[in-house]
Structure formats: C-alpha cells, structure tokens
Structure 1
Amino acid sequence: MTSATQPTDHGPSRRTKILLGTLAALIIVGLAGGFYVNYRVNRFVDTTFRPDDTAPQTQFGETPTVPIVAQATVPPTPIPPTPDPRDPNTPAPPAATATSTVALAPTATALPYGNSPIIRRLKENQRINVLLIGFGGPGHDGGYLTDTLQVMSFEPKTGVVILISVPRDLWIQLPQYEGRGGYWGRINEAYTVGMGKVDRNDTNIPYSKHDAGGKLAMKAVSQVLGIPMDYWLSVDFVGFRRFIDAIGGVDVNVERAFTDTQYPNNDDADVDPSYRTIHFDAGWQHMNGERAIAFARSRYSPEDGSDFGRARRQQLLMSAVKDQIVSVETIPKLFGILDALEGHIRMSFSFSEAKDLLGWGQEQARAKRQFAISSGVIDGDRLLYGAISSGGASILLPRAGQGNYGQIQSWVRDLLGLNESPDLLGTPGTPRLPGVPGVRPTATR
C-alpha cells in the first residue's frame, strides 16, 4: 500500500510576495516620512524659537540722555488743555477702535499643554505684552528696518486684547547693545541695530542675531510706551505673503478708498526701481498674500498715505488674520503654514511655550470663552508732530518735547486701563510699575 503523495512546498505565492513587498515598501515610506517630518519640525524649531533651556527676558526702556536738536517743519499747533485728575497738561486720550469679540474654534480632541513660563503667567493672570515686528528681510536694501511695530497686550483675567501701533518714524534715543545704538534715530532702526552687521542676501541668519534685534526693539518700544515688553515675534514680507495664502486669504473691511501711484514693483529697488498704481475700494474685500501686503505697506496715497493711516490699515489686517485663524480649522493646514513661515519667522517664545499656548487656547475654546479685541494708534494730532532731524530726515516728535514720552505713556495706560495711580508721568521715557512713579524695574524673568 502506497502512502498519499504530499504536496510540494513551492514557498510563498506570487500574490503573497506582492503583498509582503507592498507592506515593506509602505513601512519604509512611513519611516522615511516620519523621519522627514521630524527633521522638518526640528529644523523649524531650531531656526524659529528661543531655546527651551533659556528663560524669557522681559525688556524695559531706558531714559533718554542728551537730545539732539530737531527742527520742526511747522511749529506744533497748540492743543487746548483737557482737565485730567492725573495731569492737567495731558490731552484727553484718543478713543480706541470699536471692540470686537471672538471665540476660538476648538479642535476635535483636546490638546495637552504643560507648565511653561507663559502658562504660569497666564494662570497668575499677569498681563503679557508681545511686540509684533514686520520687515523686508533678505534681499532688500535696509531689509531689517522695521516696517511694522505693533504691541499686542493681553489681560488674561478679563480676556481683553489691545493692539497698539507705534509709528516707524518716531525719533528716539536708540538703546545700547554690545556697543551699538545709543544715538538718536528712528525707532524702526532698533531691530537692525540690535542684529549688527549681516549680509543683506543671507537667508540663513542665525537665530541669535534676530534675538538681539528683537530685544533691542523691545527696549526701544518700552521706552516710548512706558510698559514692559515680554516677548517679540518678527516676520518678513515673503513669510507674511505666504502665511496669508496658507490660511486661505483674509477678508478686510477697507475703511476708505485710496489710490497709491508710487507702490514699488519690486521690494528691492536694485532689481526693479519702477512703480505701479494700486487701488482699494472701500468696503469688504477678500485679499490674498500679495494684495494684503500692498494694503498694509502703501504709503503715498493722498487719501490715506500717512504713517498713522498705514498703522490703522495694518491693525485692520491683523484683525482680519485673527478672524480667519479662529474661524477655520488650522490644524490640518499646519504643514502648509510651516512651509510658508520656515525661514521667515522668528520669536522669543520657546517651542514649549508656543505648543502650550496652542493647548491653552484650545482649552479656552472648549470652554467657549470669548475674547474682546480693540486697537489704538498713537494720535498724530494730539501726541506727535512732524519734524526734520539735524540730518534732514522726516521724523515724528512727541508734542511734550523730544524724549518726553509722558503724554504717550499716560494715553497707553488709559487705553490699557492701568491709570489708577495719581502720579503717572515720572521720568520721561522710563517705564513704571503701577503705583511706583518714576521707578524702572531692573530684574528680568
């Protein structure tokens, strides 16, 4: 009796081999993709954020010393004194813009967050002031002269956010840093003075250079506004354009129609020194990145070409960006936003702080907390006037006198709801703690 014939083992079938090969390929691609994502994130973190092992440093202003005479183009027009219980010589502060209320859009799942320095401050209901900085960037003549200086002041207890625009032509004594600065110049020079010498075409300037620029800019703005600056964030024109496009554009309610016949065709006049005409109608308009930056930068329209008009437009644009971010789900667009901003944005937040802020914001969103946002521009009629420096530059000076920022600081404190002390002016240019007139804190966190 013969035994049954056993089937011959020919190994895995062709289908099995294909499946195994496909699975192996997917694993390799997945690992490679994971490594690439990790590489991209790490590269973005290293070039964008303050190192996690360093503490944030709040910056305070310095008192101006000997002023350089600046000749006014026209004598400042007298302002009738307005009765004020704090200082009878201080003009009544211009009103802030209408306050809007927003609520953040929560993600599908909660985002965990830790106890980084920014979170500890939020939990302790400490006011946080962030300096927002915009400039041309690499490839531009004067690429790090700031085109935009805005302070975002957030009061955690009340949920109130106030934006304050600082005119770029304001004439100040630039703070000193590593032997640089210490002279009188426009406030928009502070960032580039802090950075020191850099190659105008270098697209890989170390974070440390930007950090030095941000710190000096914070000191300069604190000197004028009389409030400490806790963090800074800077972005160049390319990054701003790409960011607006990455979030799908913004809707802006243009307050007044204007036409600018001298808008540059190229950010770098060495490439193309010619101009073109741009026009904006009044009313709601959807803007992509290119259109948005033209709206923010336009300087020569007869209808709205002043430094103050431009500051107001920049605040409208910031409000529109805020509305777009909170109205759409930004997490799926994260890598598009990273692509847009990589190499174009820097900040003094650490990566842990930025991540924790996102988680904290989502916690507020899930609690359906609303935030009130308003803005103010330093009034060019009541607080500043146009002048010519000894070197022939068009500048802005405080009506109270060169280097005397007392009226501006009182206006800022009114805007922020901080004017509770009867003696607020103290030493010109010197930030004060509430209730301690003329005292400049020296400690940093």
Structure 2
Amino acid sequence: MTGDDEPAGRRVGRRPKLLKAAGLTLAALLVLGAGGAGWTYWHLNDNITGVDINTALGDDRPPRSGATPAASAAPSSVPSGSLNILVLGSDSRSGAENAELGGGGEDSGARSDTAMVVHLDEGRTTATVVSIPRDTLVTRPSCPLPSGRSTAPADGVMFNSAYAVGGPVCAVKTVETLTGVRMDHYIEIDFSGFAELVDALGGVTVTTDEDIDDEDSHLTLEAGTHHLDGEQALALARTRHGVGDGSDLGRITLQQDLVKALLDQVSTTDLLTSPSKLYDVADTVTSNLTTDSELDSLTALMSLGHSLADLTSDRVDMVTMPVVPAPWDRNRVVAQEPEAGEVWESLR
C-alpha cells in the first residue's frame, strides 16, 4: 500500500444511462420476437461494462439497507427494501467524440462532473434524488486501485477528485464516507453516451425560466420551452455561467430539471411500436453503460427497470445537499450541518 494518487485502470467509453430507460427498454426489446432474441440478448449483454466495487471495498462500509439485490429479484416481483444508487456523470475527455462534445483535449483523466444519489423507496413508486455539488470540499479516504496500491487520503479536497484519482471505486467510497449511506449500486454516464441516449429517444423537451447564453457550454436559449437534441441537452447539463449566481448550484438546478424531462420522455415514448427505435435505444444504453457488478447483466437491469414501471417524474423529489461557502475558500462549499446529515439520515 502506498500514498500515490495513481490513476485507476478502467475501460473508457462505456458509461451508463438512465436508470428507468435501461431496464424498461431492455425488457421490452426481448419480448419483440423469438427469432433474434438469442443474438440480441448476447449482443446487448456483452455491451455492458461492470466494476466489482463490492470486492474492492470489502466489509468496511455502511450496512446495506436490506434490499433484495436486483440480480436475484424476479422481473415480475417488486424488490423488497429501499435502494440507494450513485449515479455519476463523467467529464472524461478521452476519445474523439467526448473531446468534441466536452471541448477537451487528449487528457485521459476524468472527474465526476455530476453526482446524484438516487434513493428508491421500498415500493419503487417514489424516489428522492440528492445532488452533491462537485465543488464540495470533503475528506477523501484512501481508496484501493486495480494495481494493488492505494490512493492517499486527503482532507479538504474537491469531491470530484475522488473519481479522478481512483475511478468508480473511490467515488463510491468517498460518497459513503461523506454520507454514511451504503451505495447499493453504481451507474455512470459520460458526454457522448448522454447525448446519444437523448438523440435515440428523439430529443427532450425542457422549459427554461431565463435566457441562457453560456460561452463555455456553447448554449444559447431564450426563456421558454424548447425541444433539444442530444448535443444541446448535454450543453444544458453543463451550463453554469449566466444562470443564477453562476455557481455549480445553478447548474445542478438545470440538471435536475433535465432528469425529470428525460423521465417524462421515456414515459411518453412508445418504443414497442418501433422495434428499430427500441433496439437503437437499448444498444445505446448498454454500449455506454458502466455499473457495479451486481447490475452488469440484462437480467439485473430488466428486473430493476421493471420495478420502476410506476415511477413518474411527479413522484421524484429533487434536492441538493445543503452546503455553505467554505470559510477558507469562498469559491468552494462544504456540507451544512446538521441539515446535510439529516438529509442522509432520511435515506438510510
């Protein structure tokens, strides 16, 4: 074990998608016809990338909520217990497509540009999504690396540095250290994967309360309702300048509105009437998917997706972890206590 902040080895380019879209579209695809079902199942299942977070972190973690693991729950049953899922958006600049969308260079490093803890209630009819500002200063624990070494622990560092130095494993461990809540599952999406999913769904309709003109995200929108393609939706998710106070908190509000709009788009898109579109969505989902090892199969994703069939956007409560400016750095924030602790306690 060493204190080197060694980049975590990982496969680049296959990152996750929307929780509900993944399970529901995959489940629907497999009932379209028996002829190509075998090849389709093999192809989509082979697309998925998994990370064995449980083995890497061992037993030194918060206790499980008592939920039925997705992989073992029958698709026709509602899983018991609540679930907490860490959903990350990665700002990876690797690959030509991500570099073009993100405006980055050749750097293969990445950070968790967006982080949401999704809490699904026992009946899967309501959910709470808690956003963690990426500018939050946290204690980053020592994290195991695939090489057998470890990252150095650090105090007062940016939350999104955990992913940069230790990949998904360190991101999960840092969130669990911050919240005291066990992350039952992990899902991640990068620039190109998010944009491709929005395009595969036919775009997404959003309403903005103010004009947006952000030179960094290259997005210009007048206040009002707009139907966005994938590249525009990604730009909206990354917009912070000219919105609210220009901080990450303003961007989080846009991201939360966008998540709800995507849930509505999934709910209103009848994919079963268009097998080719359904396949495009399912292929996009799985080919950009990275999950924990308990979710890295079609069976597990179908089970989880089926359990979310009754979850609509009006039953999703979007909140942000309470924060205050850091006393020693006004450009950063720290968790506001006891309010932040009360939020995390409600998810246990």
When the two structures are superposed, what TM-score results if normalisation uses the length of structure 1?
Answer: 0.56
Match of 1:146 in 2: 112
Match of 2:333 in 1: 396
Q: What is the distance in 2 between the residues matched to 1:218 and 1:372?
A: 26
**Residue 344, structure 1, aligned to residue 284, structure 2:** no
Q: 1:42 to 1:222 in 2, by over 3 A?
A: closer
Amino acid across the alignment from 1:356: S
Identical pairs, percent: 25
Amino acid across the alignment from 1:222: E
**Pairwise CA RMSD of aligned residues?**
3.6
Structure 1 residue 340: Cα displacement: 2.7
* 1:315-339 Cα distance to aligned partner (Å, 9 max, x none): 1111111111111123533321244
Q: What is the distance in 2 between the residues matched to 1:59 and 1:247?
A: 40
**Larger helix proportion of the pair:** 2
Comparing 215-224 and 241-250, the one that deviates more: 215-224
* 1:18-60 Cα distance to aligned partner (Å, 9 max, x none): xxxxxxxxxxxxxx97786455224213xx2468xx9998984
Match of 1:384 in 2: 324
**Residue 311, structure 1, aligned to residue 252, structure 2:** yes
**Residue 354, structure 1, aligned to residue 288, structure 2:** no
Match of 1:325 in 2: 266
Residue segments in structure 2 that go unaligned for 5+ positions in a row: 1-34, 63-68, 96-103, 145-149
Q: What is the distance in 1 between the residues matched to 2:142 and 2:244?
A: 38
For the residue of structure 2 that corresponds to 1:314, the secondary structure is helix
Contact 1:232 1:347 in 2 (8 A): yes
Q: What is the distance in 2 between the residues matched to 1:131 and 1:373?
A: 16
Instruction: Name which of 83, 86, 92 aligns with 1:131.
Output: 86
Q: What pairs with 1:44-123 in structure 2 (closer than 5 Å)?
A: 44-45=47-48, 48-49=49-50, 60=61, 116-117=71-72, 123=78
**Residue 258, structure 1, aligned to residue 205, structure 2:** no
* 1:310-362 Cα distance to aligned partner (Å, 9 max, x none): 01111111111111111112353332124434543211213121122234445
Match of 1:411 in 2: 343
When the two structures are superposed, what TM-score results if normalisation uses the length of structure 2?
Answer: 0.70
Q: What is the distance in 1 between the residues matched to 2:41 and 2:124?
A: 38
Q: 1:238 to 1:35 in 2, by over 3 A?
A: same
* 1:162-218 Cα distance to aligned partner (Å, 9 max, x none): 111100011111121221141132111112322xxxxxxxxxxxxxxxxxx323212
Q: What is the distance in 2 between the residues matched to 1:55 and 1:283?
A: 46
Q: What is the distance in 2 between the residues matched to 1:115 and 1:298?
A: 34
Match of 1:374 in 2: 317
Q: 1:313 to 1:60 in 2, by over 3 A?
A: farther
Match of 2:142 in 1: 176
Q: 1:58 to 1:327 in 2, by over 3 A?
A: farther
Contact 1:181 1:193 in 2 (8 A): no
Bigger CA radius of gyration:
1
Amino acid across the alignment from 1:130: I
Match of 2:235 in 1: 294
Contact 2:85 2:183 in 1 (8 A): yes
Contact 2:141 2:152 in 1 (8 A): yes
Amino acid across the alignment from 2:187: L
